[in-house]
Every structure is written in C-alpha cells, then in structure tokens.
Structure 1
Amino acid sequence: MAPFPMRSFRKPSFPDRTIDIREEGAQPGVKATEAIHAAIVKAHAAGGGTVLIPAGDWLSGRITLKSNVNLHVAQGARLRFSGELADYRPAVFTRHEGVEVMSLGACIYALDADNIAVTGRGTLLGPEDGPVKRQMMTQDVVERFVPLDKPVAERVYEGQGGAPIFLPMFISPTRCTNVYIEGVTLEQTAFWNIVPVYCDGVVIRGVTVNSVGIPRGDGIDIESSRNVLIEYSTLNNGDDCFTLKAGRGRDGRRVNRPTENVVIRHCLAKQGHGAVTVGSETAGVIRNLYVHDCVFDDTDVGIRLKTRRPRAGGGENLIYERLRMRLSGKMFRCDMLGSVTYVGELANRLPARDANELTPFFRDVTIRDVVVEGATRIIHVTGIPESPLTNLLVENARIRGELLITAADLRGMTLRNVQIESQSPELNLLDARGVLFDRVTFDVPGGRVQANIEGPESGDIRFHDCRPARPVGWRTDAYQEP
C-alpha cells in the first residue's frame, strides 16, 4: 500500500475481438500506417478490441490510439517508425519539455481516449534517420523559443519548409484515462520514451527501454499525471530513467496540473543520469511519490531532485524505501540552481532573490532502508537561499561512498541509524540549519570527522550517539551560531 490515499488498479479488459493489420492490407516492408489506422478505427467503432501487429518487420508513421483499443505487438514483431515528417502531420496537441505546443506528438499517440493499451512481447524501434531528426529545434531552450503569449493553437511546429520541429516522443497518451502499457521493448527513440501527459490512471508493467547514447533519451516520464503505477520494468537510458515532471515555468504555472500519487516498485534502473528523478519541470508540483523495492545498478545519481529558480512549483512528500544501489555518481543529489545555459544569472546562488510565483521548492523527502554499495558522494545538496531544501530524512541505511556530504541552503536534515564508509572525512555545510546526526557510524580515514561549517544561517547542528561522537574540534554535541 502507498503511504498516501491512492486509487486501486486493475488490468483493463477489451472485447473479445482481434483485428490483424494484415486483414487491412499491411505487408512487411511496406509502410503500414494506413492499415494500422484502419484496424484501430474498425475496432473502436465496433466497441473496442485488440489490433494485432503480428510477428515480422513492419514500418509505420504516427499511430493514434482510440478508446477501448489494445495495440498488441506480438512476440517476434519489430515495428519501426518512419523518419519522414509527412508521416507525423498534421501537428497535434502535445507538451514539449513542459511547454504546450502543436507538433509531432509521439510515434504512438492518443488524445482524450479512455481504456487504451499497448501490450505484447514485441519490439518498437524509434524513427529512422531523416528530417524528423535533422530538423529538431536546437536554436534555444523551449521556453525562450516558443512565444508563450500566443494561444497554444498558434504554436505550430510541423517542419514545413525546413522549419524546426520538436522531436516526437515514443509513446505518449495525452489527456487520457485508464492507460495500460505492458511487456513491450523500446529501442532507438528520438526523444523521451514513455510519456503520459495529463493522464489519470496509468499502469506501466514489465517494459524494457534501451536508449543509451541518445541525448535526452529519458526512459519513463510521468508528466502532470495522477494515479500511476510502474512496476517490473527495466530502463537503460541516455538520460534520466524514471522521471516525474509537471510543466515548466510560466507555461507550466498557467496549466497548473500536478503529478501526484505515483508508485514505482520492483524495477531496475541501469545506465542513466538519474535512477529516479523529480524535475526539472516542476511548475505544477510533484507530490506523493513512493519508490520501493528497486535496484539501481550502474546509474549515475540514485535519487535526483532538480529544478531551477524560474521553473516554479516543486516537489513534496517524496518517499524512497528498500532500495539497493551501485552507482557511478551520487546517492542523493538535489540541484535547484541549474546552469547559466538555461537560466542565465539566476544560476548564481547569490544574491538571494525575493520569492515569487516562479520560486520552486523541495520538501519532505524520506529515504529509508537502503543499501548503497558504491557512490562518488553520499549527499550533495544545492538549494537556493530563498527556498532551501526542507526536511530530508535518511534512516536505516548502509552506505559506501568516496565522499561524505556537501550541502548548501538546507533546513532540516536527519541521518538516523546510518552506517557510512567513506574515503573522505569531510562534512561541508553552508547555510544549513536543523541538522541531526543520530546514531551515525562514520568509517573514515583516521576515524576522525572534519566538519566545515560556513554561512550566517548555519546553526542547530547536532550529533547524538555517533561514532566518533563528534567531529574534530567540536566542543559540545550541538553547533550554534558564533
């Protein structure tokens, strides 16, 4: 059970009706878009059913699902998508990196549908080389490129005359209810892989995603959707693996739809920038996330939170339990500043800014019952002075890392019953307040912890029943302001 109220899930049912795409004229080696579309329309008109992609090699343009239709990709089927822009026109309503636009949408797309599925043991292959990839927008970040003062219907990007487009996602049901994705393998995506947008009631089970080497090749991105279960899935990605998003900046605030009530369980994250990442599009707020009984193997960051000063919103009530990690990077990374490339001078920590509607937050993060076999650093927090990371709890953990903790702009961090083995003895805290080390064992060189405390906001830093009892030069159990 999730530690927050959440709907129960059930496997969707479809009428006992199967339409083989070959019945509609599909032939191997010939583009089958029209035949697949005809089969979907026929099944939908009849009240629902299954559209079968049989074993063999198939080629298609964009596929649009309709209510009560299960697209079943049989074992031995390889469905490859076209790289030609004409196969993704006309432009459809979609969201690109948190900004609403009219563009290519997704290879498998649905809008305002109910009770839809993509199932089977077959393989889906992303767009071939062609204009779809060559004309992707590279001029600027999306929120500066898209004129946000225009109505969404006028933000059209479909590549006419060589104009830039936004890359299609792989599978993206949009404004849908009761979505089920099971069993399929996704390879060679052009962009993000499985991306429910504005959906309610999503189950993703037993999928395999491979996109190593593909920039922005995220595995699963839950975008402004609610009541989501992800289980028994393996992601191996060129960017983040399991990702939660909720819109970017001013356009995300205009829409103001959260991602909430998400459970990720019994999953494997392999290569990727972050195993489970919250952000960096956070405008509608990501809340009520429960990740449990998962393995992160050779991922960069295990638990990753990221946002930016003008991204708005944030994340809260984020719970991670019973995880095992072997990482090439950090166990926990929270970054609220970002880079100059994306946000200009707002990436500078100081001066502190006045809080406004675009000021993001992260709060109430729990990490419990974890084993970290290796990491470069255990905890690395980069908050912002006007909105520090608030209330981080790490409890019942065994962690091996090269470096200990570096945290700036933090309010409330507790490590309780934690065993740490590190090659460095240094704790670095900048403007950190309300920090408690409770029954923490530090296995560090020389058996001596070195605490480097800076910043006028630092204070109330305590060590209780730790080994060693306190850092070098620590006069009492608590650190107070000078």
Structure 2
Amino acid sequence: MNINWIISLVAVILGIQGCRSIPVDKQLDKALLRADQIGAGKMPAEPEKVQSPFTAWNVQRPTFPMRQDTVWPNDDIQGKLDHLAAQGGGTLVLKGHHHTVRITLKSDINLKLDEGSVLEFKNEINDFLPVVFTRNEGVELYSLGACIYANGADNIAITGSGRIIGPGEGSVRSKTMTHDVIEKIVDSNTPVDQRIYDGKTADFIFPPALIAPINCKKVWIEGVSLERTAFWNIVPTYCEDVVIRGVRIQSIGIPRGDGIDIESSKRVLVEYCTLNTGDDCIAVKAGRGYDGLRVNRPSEDIVVRYCFSEKGHGGFTIGSETAGMAQNVYVHDCVFGKTNVGIRFKTRRPRGGGGSDIRFERIRMQDVESALRWDMLGQAQHVGNQASRDFEVQKNALTPRFSNIQIKDIYIDAAKNCIKIEGIPESVLENVSIDRVFGRGDRYLSIKDAKNIKIKNSVFVCKDTSVLTINVSQLIQDRVRVMTEAP
C-alpha cells in the first residue's frame, strides 16, 4: 500500500477529529461569510465560473458593437434606442436625470446609466400603453408590462452605476388590481390575446415591474440601483442565460415589492446583490395554477451566491407560483439579515407546482422570524378553506410537491422558529437533509405532513426544545444536540 496515501488518510482523519473538538457554532461562525464581505459593495470586476452540484458554466460578459450614443435629459430615449438597434446595436449612455415613459430594449443593446444619472418613470397608465405581453404573478396577459421591457431580444444589458426609479403616485398605482387573487380575475380558459387590461376594458390594470425581459436570451443586469417600484423589481421571464450582479434594490414599504423574481427561466446567475424589499428579496417562480400548467416551463439551473438579503419577507424563497416547477437550484455563501423568513418554500393547493433538487450551503441568518420554513398551505384570505390541513383535498393536477432538498452549513443567530415545516396531507414534503446547522431561537422543531426528514450534526439552543410532529414518518435526528442554554 502506498505510504503517502496512508499519511494523507491519517492527516484527514486527524483533521476531522480536530474539527469535531471545536463546537459547531464556532466552526460555522468562523467559516461563513459576513454581511460586510458580500453584497453589491464587494462585487469583483468579473464573475467566477459557476460551479453547481447540478450544472456548471463559464459566465461570459456580453459584447456589443463599438457604436455608441449619448442621451441627455429631454432627449427621446426610445427613439435613440430604436435608431441604435436599426444600425445593428451598440451602447446608449444615459447622462443626467430623465423622466420617461416605458422603455423597450432591442437586441444587441447595452443601456448604460452613467455615474450620477437617474432614470425615473412617469406614473400614469397612458405612459405605459399600448399594452404588452407579460406575465403577472404567474399568469399570462396583456397589461403594462415593465418600465424597462424587452420581448424576444437577444444580447441585452442594463449596466452602469445610475439609479432607476419606478412610478410615483398616479393612476398606475391607484388603478392596480388588489381586490382579489389573480386566478379569480383572469380566467385560464380565456385566450391569452384576449386578456387585455389597459384601464379601459376593466377599471384596473396589472402594474409594471421595474425591469422585466420576457422570451429573451443573454440578459446582463449589473451595477444599477433600483427604487420605488410599483410591483416586482427584476423579473426575467422565459429567459435563458441571465446574469444579475452588483444590483442594489430598495422597496421597503411597497406591497409586492419583491427584489429579484426568476420566472420560468434557465441558467440564471444572481450574485453580489444587496436587497431591502417590501416582500421577498430573491424568489424563484414558474407560473400559477392552470395557466402555469398550460405553459409548463420550469425555472432551472439557478445559482445565487454572495448576496445580502438585508430586509424583506424572505431572504430566499421558492414559490408560491411554481406550477412549472423549480429545479436544480443552488444557493450558497449568502447572508440573510432581518428577514421574516430565511429560507422559505411556498406552495398553495390551488396553484400547483413545487420543486426538487434544491441545495443551500453556507448561509448566515442574523435575526429572522423563521429560519427554515416550509409553507405549503398558505392563508385563508388567499385560498379559503384549502389553507387548513383538516380540509380534505384529493390529489389533482394542481397538487403541489417538494422533494430532494439539501441544506448544509447554516448559522442561525436568532429566530423564533428554527425549523418549521407545514406540508400537506395529500402530498407530504419528502427527502430533506439538514446537516451542520447551529440554531439559536425560541422553538426548535415543528413538522406536519412530511416523510424522510434527516437532521444531523447540528446544535440548537432554544427556549422550547420540544418536537411537534403530525403525520410524519422517517424523521431521523443523528448527532443532534438540543439544549436550553449554550454549552
């Protein structure tokens, strides 16, 4: 036997034993990145290769024709964009403060916001007409689309260090549909080209996102700051090869003010972003209800790294609109600050979908309501009686499901609930591995409707150390210490 191999093996064993002598909380606290080491302020000039358990790819910065034009305040932004596109593309540089209607990007265009520039959008419905094809909360329709919109474009970018500001007070906000859930408003049996919401066919509209390319390939968004959105901030939908990096988002106090929502898109990298949002910071979605099933496009090959979710409803969320499924999702080396939930999995019985093959590694959570949260039922105000696990529902086309989830190397500084799982009786949560977690909180573990849940090599310091289980099978706790006081 090779002596060098034996020496190496002994060294590895001794290293493991040495690590085990150090409490897991100190190991993780030392090893995991902190908020001041990630986020927009720490973005390197070029991204590293994407290395995921599910896929890998080299990130290629887009190139554009050498052609360049400059747009000054009171210039026609769209006119200059169209002219540049007609010549074969190039870079349009924005300088100064612009107050504009909707902008539509075309192929081979880089919209660059110069340092100190401001791109502010007007606030009336007429500023976003005619209606465009879009997807709003997972349902296809024709409405206002986005402040910066693109459909079917290839090789587009929004770069620079300027600010993008959404509409202020006006009809865009006052006429937004808020009186019901969208699936009760937009009939899934109505042909998509007849689902028109322009403020005239009905007394409401579906609001514009801030940046929402749809059916696009090679999308690059870098360096800009986003504020005051009327709806979700950045929403790539039906897109491929998307990079979002070094973006700052501020939407605190804005209902449905999600930061970055990845909708039925493939090969997406989100890195070095800093998010303060009125809803989820980063979310993966894939369509809603029967309309999402009709489209049947997953979100897949998603990588999120080195992001700081400072404030929001969820640090990272999958759902709740995932009819086409979320799969091959890898989130690592992120920090979640004062978010209501750290890692959240959401489905709803009437919305379908879910996800599989999902991995989280090296995540630090600072002060959250729930750290690891599965919420597959929802609230009665949205789904009625189906929000109760006691309300019997037979399996159907919209029955959601989550499975094959790995969570490893997590430091939870403070939480009310360390692990809270609410599956659904007819489709239990399956195959979850939770490894090397230190959690400090009020309650340790609550599980309903789940199967094959493994928690190992972890320490929890909680006021309530009890384990609540309802309809749970194959719950394994291996080398888990749960205590009321720190050792």
TM-score (normalised: structure 1): 0.89
Number of the residue aligned with 1:144: 184
Number of the residue aligned with 2:58: 8
Secondary structure of the structure 1 residue equivalent to 2:324: coil
In the alignment, structure 1 residue 376 sits paired with structure 2 residue 426: no
Structure 2 residue runs of 5 or longer lacking an equivalent are 1-50
The answer on whether the counterparts of 1:83 and 1:131 sit within 8 Å (CA) in structure 2 is: yes
| Structure 1 position 291, deviation (Å) | 0.3
Q: 2:465 aligns with which of 413, 425, 429?
A: 425
Secondary structure of the structure 1 residue equivalent to 2:233: coil
Q: 1:19 aligns with which of 69, 75, 96?
A: 69
Number of the residue aligned with 1:309: 349
Please show how residues 302-451 of structure 1 align to structure 2 within 5 Å. 302-444=342-484
Structure 1 residue runs of 5 or longer lacking an equivalent are 448-466, 468-482
The answer on whether the counterparts of 1:6 and 1:227 sit within 8 Å (CA) in structure 2 is: no
The answer on whether the counterparts of 1:282 and 1:311 sit within 8 Å (CA) in structure 2 is: yes
The answer on whether the counterparts of 1:301 and 1:327 sit within 8 Å (CA) in structure 2 is: no
Alpha-carbon distance in structure 2 between the residues aligned to 1:360 and 1:391: 15
| Structure 1 position 247, deviation (Å) | 0.3
Alpha-carbon distance in structure 2 between the residues aligned to 1:405 and 1:378: 7
Please show how residues 45-194 of structure 1 align to structure 2 within 5 Å. 45-54=86-95, 56-160=96-200, 163-194=203-234
Alpha-carbon distance in structure 1 between the residues aligned to 2:178 and 2:307: 33
TM-score (normalised: structure 2): 0.88
Secondary structure of the structure 2 residue equivalent to 1:341: helix
| Structure 1 position 7, deviation (Å) | 3.8
| Structure 1 position 80, deviation (Å) | 0.7
Number of the residue aligned with 2:320: 280
Which piece of structure 1 moves more, 278-287 or 361-370? 361-370
Secondary structure of the structure 1 residue equivalent to 2:198: coil
Q: Which has the higher contact order (CA 8 A, sep 6+)?
A: 2
In the alignment, structure 1 residue 220 sits paired with structure 2 residue 260: yes
Specify the code of the residue in structure 2 equivalent to 1:349: R
Specify the code of the residue in structure 1 equivalent to 2:61: K
| Structure 1 position 6, deviation (Å) | 4.1
Secondary structure of the structure 2 residue equivalent to 1:375: strand
| Structure 1 position 393, deviation (Å) | 1.1
| Structure 1 position 356, deviation (Å) | 1.4
Alpha-carbon distance in structure 1 between the residues aligned to 2:149 and 2:208: 10
| Structure 1 position 155, deviation (Å) | 0.4
Specify the code of the residue in structure 1 equivalent to 2:132: V
RMSD: 1.3
The answer on whether the counterparts of 1:396 and 1:416 sit within 8 Å (CA) in structure 2 is: yes
Distance 1:252 1:161, change over 3 A: closer
Alpha-carbon distance in structure 1 between the residues aligned to 2:202 and 2:296: 33
| Structure 1 position 162, deviation (Å) | 7.3
Specify the code of the residue in structure 2 equivalent to 1:46: Q
Q: 1:42 aligns with which of 83, 88, 96?
A: 83
Runs of 4 or more above 4 Å deviation: none
Alpha-carbon distance in structure 2 between the residues aligned to 1:7 and 1:254: 30
Number of the residue aligned with 1:476: none
Give CA-to-partner distance per residue, 1:280-326, whole Å, 9 cap, x none: 00100000110001111111111000111121121111100011111
Distance 1:127 1:148, change over 3 A: same
Alpha-carbon distance in structure 2 between the residues aligned to 1:42 and 1:179: 20
Alpha-carbon distance in structure 2 between the residues aligned to 1:139 and 1:351: 25
In the alignment, structure 1 residue 199 sits paired with structure 2 residue 239: yes
Number of the residue aligned with 1:474: none
Alpha-carbon distance in structure 1 between the residues aligned to 2:182 and 2:202: 18
Give CA-to-partner distance per residue, 1:394-421, whole Å, 9 cap, x none: 1112111111111100101111100111
Number of the residue aligned with 2:279: 239
Number of the residue aligned with 1:471: none
| Structure 1 position 342, deviation (Å) | 1.7
| Structure 1 position 341, deviation (Å) | 1.8
The answer on whether the counterparts of 2:385 and 2:391 sit within 8 Å (CA) in structure 1 is: no
| Structure 1 position 116, deviation (Å) | 0.2
Alpha-carbon distance in structure 2 between the residues aligned to 1:279 and 1:328: 19
Alpha-carbon distance in structure 2 between the residues aligned to 1:58 and 1:36: 9
